[in-house]
Structure 1
Amino acid sequence: MTQAVTVRRDGDTFQARLFWWHAARLLDPGSAVSRVAFETGPKSFDDVWVEYDPARSALDQYGDPLRREHIQCKWHVTPDSYGYTHLIDPEFINANARSLLQRARQAQIAHAPAGSGVRFKLVTNWRLDRNDPLREMIGNRSGAMRLERLYGTATDNSKAGAVRKAWREHLEIDEDELRLLARTLAFGEATDTLDALREQLDVLFGFVGLQRIPANQSAFPYDDLVFQWMAQGRLEFDRAGFQALCAREGLLGSGQGSPRVYGVKSFEHAFDRLEERCHEVLDLIPAFDERYIRDDEDWETTLYPRLRAFLLKAAKQQPRLRLALDAHVTLAFAAGSIINIKSGRHIELEQRSTGRRLWAGDDLAPDPNWSRLTCETIELQQDKPDLAVALGLTHDLSGDVRRFCEANLPDVGRLLLMQPSAGAGAQSVACGRHAFELADAATNAVRKARPAGSGCTHLFIAAPNAFSFFLGQRQAALGPVRLYEFDFEQARTYTPALTLPISAGNGVSTSEPQNLSE
């Protein structure tokens, strides 16, 4: 009995916090969210729905405006995984007759008959099974179905064909009807804990002016309040109505005077779309196929110039600014090289770790108990000018980088390995100041390890994006650098990305400091 009560309460808490994650944006005039609803809508996709302003809405996986998302929340106390067959099993959603896929089909016919404009999304803390064919069909940046992968084969005699066959027969529809349905489906993995979701809401509430609940208080009244509103018949909320209701409940606090938030994304979080909480967003996602760049030359010819123009404009307008970097490590480093250490700008970074934190170079006082940076230099070849640097803060990448250098970088003479003294891990960097100090230490270590008259420094980084940004701020001290991205499909190897500085001959010069006071 106790376990059943815990499951139900945690499920309600998850749904309520997901509601507030979207509804709080109704208090932000710059948000694209125009309407949010709770416990209303099509069956099995009625937990939360979000409507977007057509003029500012995000685009779906095929570039069409996304007008509305219907979200089904499913929280489990114990971890597990699911696959494509679960979606045709009524027991997966604790139903007796109709499966989640059948209900999605019914919702699609009613709300998205053309297969676009509306998305039906399952958000759960269960993961898609790594060995299930459905996993390969879900886009990492949006969680939406990738039709080119679902229909990558012509017959049913394949993994993709088996998915299509099972879903067609279960729904008793043809291929064209299945294609329309699949285009509207999306899946999100809520990997954060309930406590981490509360911490993220605290940051958001501070931004939009809602009362913040101290972390040392066990009760979080927002969890229950939305169910009280539901009992009163309050199910749908627009901007004006929601603000008035929050004022009546005494939820509106004083504004925090937060800096403007600028987002850069080359991939997308499962349910945290930057457009919903940033004043301006640079969307680089179209240049990528999932995590992989479509054209290697785009790093230098397209992405860096766009990033540079976006950040310089922001930095010239604001002495304090906050960056949300849902982006590759290369872009985080490049962002730092643009708003460099001499820019005179105070930068806060939204750092995703177990939750989402605001990091700055001066956010906490220094702590002697923080991990230091340990360094080891390995001689690979005599009389070779280049230096390779393996910065493994979140995980050890020394073996992978060494193998890559020996196989692919004949001009690398030395390999510099750097790790935290307490060992690599997700919690190895404590805060923004710690990341700032580690970036300082890494810069000094690279300068000492570089041979006299050396060539390029090849950077391999496994670290929080805030650290990569702070290290990028010191790019001038590092000399010419080339960054590498981890290749997720060809495990344990890398692909070359951006080289800095970029010469003036390519249309953009990064060799001269920027005057941000203009």
Structure 2
Amino acid sequence: MGEQSASRMEGDRYQHLYSWYVLLPLLDGNSPFETAFVEHPEAGAADDVTLHPRPGAAVTRQYIQVKWHVDHRALYTLEGLMEGVGRGRSLLQKLFAAWRVLRDQGPVEVWLVSNWPADPELGRYLQGRDCRLLEDFFAEAPTGGLKAARSRWLEHLGVEWDVLRAFCADLRLRLGFASIAELEERVDERMCMRGLRQGPEPRAIALDGIREWIEVGGEAKRLDRAKLQTFIRDRGLLEPETDTPGVGLWIHGWARRQWRGQPAVELDWTSHFDRDTRAVPTESVWREQLLPELREARRRLASRPTEALIDFRGKVPLSVSLAVGACFPEVAGDRFRVEQATRGETVLWSSDAKPTRRQLHGTERESVPDARDLLVVFQLTGDAGPDVERFLAGHPRRFRAVLVLEPEGGPHDGAVGSDGDAVAFAVLARERIRQARVRWRTATTHLIPYAPAGCCLFLGQRLNALGPVVAYERTAAGGYAPFLTLETG
């Protein structure tokens, strides 16, 4: 029973996450949909979330059934859609029954959304563009598996071909949809675009609201833009406003994202990065193409008002955050405001925040007396020790000394609690590196970051007068490889 209860809870969470995901666009003034329902009272099996157009909008009513599966032991098939649970109706029968009731009220789309994908026999008839069944599905003289399945569908539903064809034309199968973790990320992106807080706590507030609307029932389940705006305001979901003006710098690396407002400068580097394989551009691509683009971005932003912060947004590797900071140094008066996920919520960090009194613990050890390079491990949110030892074993005579920097109490995911902590660690790290260079008389510094992106950005701003700094990125195999060289003077 415990596992069944857990499955039901996961299913409810997935359904409510998807509901919030499709409700958020109602906040847009140009949304073609005017209202929505959660668990519509007249929609039968297609009731989980429904969308209803504005008068004159060129869209159709959508009635959506959301189904979650805890694992991927099976696929949706032409035959499987007719399988019932116990003596209950099949999924196909439930969707068909909902459609027969809803179509009398006008044009309608009945959607099935699920994390289970379609098998090849069903998938070959689904359009990736809009989740409709392809025209081939409606062939007058089907052959093979389709012929048998269509005959079984007609018998299973007890209808003639013209009725089945009309139903299938209104059916939408959005199969192989996101996992819970992926859906949470998509929800966060939509919340960010609309000026809302992101992370586990704001999402939990939104899902509690959906559960409450369902429990109260009646008109509470009917939602529109005004009602959502009131809910968002009353539950504290709006991102706090800031009086400090800013200009946007967006850099797309691992992925493209849309943030609130419009950037003054936008750089799309996604063709050079692959998150799955951890592939990054070569040093020559960085030096000959990306770094000049970053310098041009700084030139374009140089005319901003003196009091304006640079609102940096980007899904980029840690080394790119270091490079951005180095290109916009603190000594030149450049100040950043950046999104940072911390303690389960996305907040804004400022590079001019007052440093806290947090301390940075440094451990040094000599490696090769006649070497000329210094290895620095900047680990705040995790222990890079095992990977670093493997890295050192692969470069046995490379480094004069190794400096490991970490917060007092050791590295962990909550070690950097605020922008004040991040600034304090960046300032202390720069000074520790400078002292180590002098003490060990090294020429080049090799830096392995294991810290929040915002902290790396702030550190990059302070990497001045340290000579060449080679920044490393973690590889898909768990090691480290040099990514770019920063000339800090």
Q: TM-score over 0.5 for the alignment?
A: yes
Match of 1:297, SS?
Answer: helix
CA shift in 2, pair 1:449/1:215, >3 Å: same
Gapped regions of structure 2 (runs ≥ 5): 52-62, 93-113, 133-145, 151-173
- Do the aligned partners of 1:373 and 1:421 also contact (CA within 8 Å) in 2? yes
1: CA distance, partners of 2:290 / 2:64: 33
Quick one: distance in 2 between partners of 1:332 and 1:222?
37
1:264–1:283 CA contact under 8 A, matched in 2: yes
- Within 1, Cα distance between the matches of 2:467 and 2:331? 16
1:392 Cα deviation after fit? 1.3
Contact kept? 2:75, 2:119, Cα under 8 Å: no
Are positions 1:360 and 2:350 aligned together? yes
Change (3 A) 1:374 1:305: same
- Alpha-carbon deviations, 1:407-445, whole Å to 9, x = none? 237442111011121121111111111011001111111
Give the TM-score normalised by the residue count of structure 1.
Answer: 0.59
Equivalent residue pairs, number:
392
2:318 is matched with which residue?
329
Query: How far off its partner does 1:454 sit?
Result: 2.5
Counterpart Cα distance in 2 of 1:93 and 1:458: 61
Aligned to 1:59: none
C-alpha spacing 1:386/1:17, structure 2 compared with 1 (3 Å): same
Q: Is the 8 A contact 1:262 1:322 kept in 2?
A: yes
Q: Look up the SS of the partner of 2:363 in the other structure.
A: strand
- Give 1:496's aligned residue: 482
What is the deviation of 1:228? 9.6
Say if 1:248 and 1:415 are closer, same or farther in 2 by CA, change over 3 A: closer
- Amino acid in the other structure paired with 2:21: L
1:363 is displaced (CA, Å) by: 5.0
1:85-484 to 2 correspondences below 5 Å: 85=74, 96=90, 100-102=116-118, 113=127, 115-116=128-129, 188-191=178-181, 207=195, 221=209, 242=225, 259-268=246-255, 274-277=257-260, 279-280=262-263, 281-290=266-275, 291-293=278-280, 295-314=282-301, 316-317=303-304, 319-353=308-342, 354-361=344-351, 366=356, 368=357, 370=358, 372-408=359-395, 410-451=397-438, 454-484=442-472
1:260/1:104 Cα in 2 relative to 1: closer, same or farther (>3 Å)?
farther
1:419 alignment partner, SS class = strand
The amino acid that maps onto 2:443 is G
Find the counterpart in structure 2 of residue 130 from structure 1: none
Task: Indicate whether 1:18 and 2:24 are aligned.
Answer: no
Is 2:445–2:469's contact at 8 Å kept on the other side of the alignment? yes
SS in 1 for 2:331: coil
Opposite residue 117 of structure 2, the aligned amino acid is L
CA distance in 2, matches of 1:412, 1:71: 60
Residues 407 and 233 (structure 1), Cα distance of their counterparts in 2 relative to 1, 3 Å cut: closer
| TM-fit CA distance, 1:96 | 4.5
Looking at CA atoms only, which structure, 1 or 2, has the larger radius of gyration? 2
Q: How far 1:344 sits from its partner (Å)?
A: 2.5
Cα 1:426–1:103 change in 2 (3 A) is same
* Gap change, CA 1:479 and 1:296, over 3 Å in 2: closer
> 1:313-368: CA deviations, max 9, x gaps?
345435123222311011100111122112334321101243312112455773x5
Give the Cα separation in 2 of the matches to 1:455 and 1:47.
62
Instruction: Tell me, yes or no, if the aligned pair for 2:310 and 2:337 is still in contact at 8 Å.
Output: yes
What residue in structure 2 maps to residue 137 of structure 1? none
TM-score normalised by the chain length of structure 2: 0.62
1:359–1:431 Cα contact (<8 Å) kept:
yes
Please show how residues 29-68 of structure 1 align to structure 2 within 5 Å.
none
Q: 1:282 to 1:380 in 2, by over 3 A?
A: same
Quote the residue 1:129 is aligned against.
Answer: none
After superposition, give the CA deviation of every residue in 1:83-114 in whole Å (9 maximum; x if it has no partner): 4745668799999557843499879856xx4x
Amino acid at match of 2:273: F
Distance 1:45 1:306 in 2: 50
Q: Deviations over 1:98-143 (max 9, x none)?
A: 7843499879856xx4x45x589xxxxxxxxxxxxxxxxxxxxxxx
* Deviation, structure 1 residue 248: 8.8
- Percent identity among equivalent residues? 21
Seen in structure 2, the aligned counterparts of structure 1 residues 402 and 92 have a Cα distance that, compared at 3 Å, is: farther
SS of aligned partner of 1:394: coil
Task: Tell me how large the CA RMSD over aligned residues is.
Answer: 5.3
Secondary structure of the structure 2 residue equivalent to 1:475: coil
Does the C-alpha gap of structure 1 residues 71 and 465 become closer, same or farther in structure 2, counting only changes over 3 Å?
Answer: farther
Q: CA deviation at 1:282?
A: 2.4
Q: State the 1:45 CA deviation.
A: 13
Decide whether aligned partners of structure 1 residues 250 and 323 sit closer, same or farther in structure 2, where only a CA change above 3 A counts: closer
Instruction: Determine the C-alpha separation between the residues in 2 that align with 1:335 and 1:48.
Output: 44
Contact 1:311 1:335 in 2 (8 A): no
Separation (CA, whole Å) in 1 of partners of 2:414 and 2:83: 34
